[in-house]
Amino acid sequence: MKDVTRIYIIRHGETDNNKLHRFIGSTDHPLNERGQAQAASLKAPFSKIHVDRIYASPLKRTMMTAEGVRADRDIPVIKVPGIREIECGQWEGLNRQEIEERWPGQIDLWQFHPAKLHMEGGETLAQVQRRAVEAFLDIVEKERGNSVAVVSHMLTIQLIMCGLLGIDIDEVWRMVQLENTSITSMDFYPDNTFEVVKWGEAGHLPVELTNASVKIAGFTKNEAPKYDVAVVEGKHDIAWKREGVL
Catalytic residue among 21, 29, 113, 153: 153
Cα separation, 201 vs 71, whole angstroms: 18
113 is catalytic: no
Do residues 17 and 93 make contact, with C-beta atoms less than 8 angstroms apart?
A: yes
End-to-end CA distance of the chain: 29
Positive/negative CA dihedral, 153, 237, 231, 200:
negative
Alpha helices in 143-228 (DSSP H): 154-165
Do residues 210 and 13 make contact, with C-beta atoms less than 8 angstroms apart?
A: no
153 is catalytic: yes
145 in the Ramachandran plot: left (φ > 0), alpha (ψ -120 to 50) or beta?
Answer: left
Q: Compute CA distances 163 → 64, 95, 122, 169, whole Å.
A: 27, 28, 20, 8
Just list the catalytic residues.
Answer: 12, 153
